Chains A and B, each alone.
Chain A
């Protein structure tokens, strides 16, 4: 009986897994895009403040906090199978998984620089914020150039 029970359990787990696999990939990719859009929005808000010449520090701080939280959150959005083969519209290239080490290095750099920007914003040091912004922007670009399908 225990043996049959195990089989029944395994069947339930397998069907549940198969049934949720497809919606999970599309849900995950949707959440990934939404997260990166918020990151883009936060980064734009920071850039607009810096460009204005007299940044509103509170605005920069809240955007930097959000950016750094979402940068860390982005790490969980790239499981295997969430690339172009998932059948959902995404610009994530297959190279993300084919060159996993390169991608992971850029992710690490991204999170580190987002945290550095957050720290600079917290301290209110404008030249430091600008330097951190430049470094982070360069990482956005280098990763997009390599791992994101061009528009």
Chain B
């Protein structure tokens, strides 16, 4: 899971660069990788380790607001193991946005009608153009979310003095009494789900898509 997070970071950077430079062959490949990563993350949200499960961190807006009001700026508040109620929403938003971007990208058509996503043959030119425009627009929203995410990490590092980056690498969080997730699902299960996600993406592009 932590590996997937850093893979997402690298893949978003790759997508940004290939998209801006119009290296669309590579952009498509990086997009398929993104589709597989998002699929994996969705599945892992249901069957993965405790801290990765949606049920463990997606909480109602009231809890998120209460966290924002009572805990966020309190230096003495005990750290959460896993995502806090507010961070959970940030994860959900990020994942939802990435999934939307993948979907729009598969339908997008460039203005010359040459480069296009693998499923763009299913839609009209105008629809494909609209998908491309939204794809472009939502990327800026994604950049905003990423900026917010980084600001939050820096805030925790300086104001709350929690090194979240280290936690995201090692998986342990000092002061919570947890070393690793209580229910830590095997790396092999993760690998199997990752392969399955990649296989699913590959097969849908190969058999349903047109490139």
Contacts and interface: CB of A to CB of B under 8 A. Distances in A.
Interface of A: 37, 39-41, 43-45, 47-48, 51-52, 137, 140-141, 144, 148, 151
B112 A137 contact: yes
Contacts, number: 48
Interface in B71-127: 109, 111-114, 116, 120-121, 124-126
Interface residues of B, number: 17
Contact of B114 (A41, A45, A52, A140): A140
Contacts of A144: 111-112
13 contacts: A40-B109, A40-B111, A40-B113, A40-B125, A41-B124, A41-B125, A43-B112, A45-B125, A47-B116, A140-B112, A140-B114, A141-B112, A151-B111
A48 B114 CA distance: 9
A63 to B, nearest CB: 10
The interface centre, meaning the residue of B111, B113, B121, B126 with most chain A CB atoms within 10 A of its CB, is B113
Given A44-B120, A140-B113, A141-B112, 14 more contacts: A37-B125, A37-B126, A40-B109, A43-B113, A44-B125, A44-B128, A47-B113, A48-B121, A51-B210, A137-B114, A140-B114, A144-B111, A144-B112, A151-B111
A50 B125 CA distance: 16
Nearest to B124: A41
B211 interface: yes
A44 B113 contact: yes
Contacts of B112: 40, 43, 137, 140-141, 144
7 tightest A-B CB contacts, nearest first: A41-B125, A43-B113, A140-B112, A48-B121, A44-B113, A137-B114, A51-B210
Given A52-B121, A52-B210, A44 B111 contact: no
Nearest to A141: B112
A47 B210 CA distance: 10
A143 to B, nearest CB: 9
Contacts of B114: 43, 47, 137, 140-141
A141 B112 CA distance: 6
A22 B129 CA distance: 29
A48 B210 contact: yes
B132 to A, nearest CB: 8
Nearest to B128: A44
B11 interface: no
A137 B207 CA distance: 26
B57 to A, nearest CB: 37
Contacts of A37: 125-126
Nearest to A41: B125
A15 to B, nearest CB: 39
A51 B109 CA distance: 14
Of the candidates A37, A44, A47, A137, the one having the most CB atoms from chain B within 10 angstroms of its own CB is: A44
Contacts of B109: 40, 44
B211 A51 contact: yes
B111 A51 contact: no
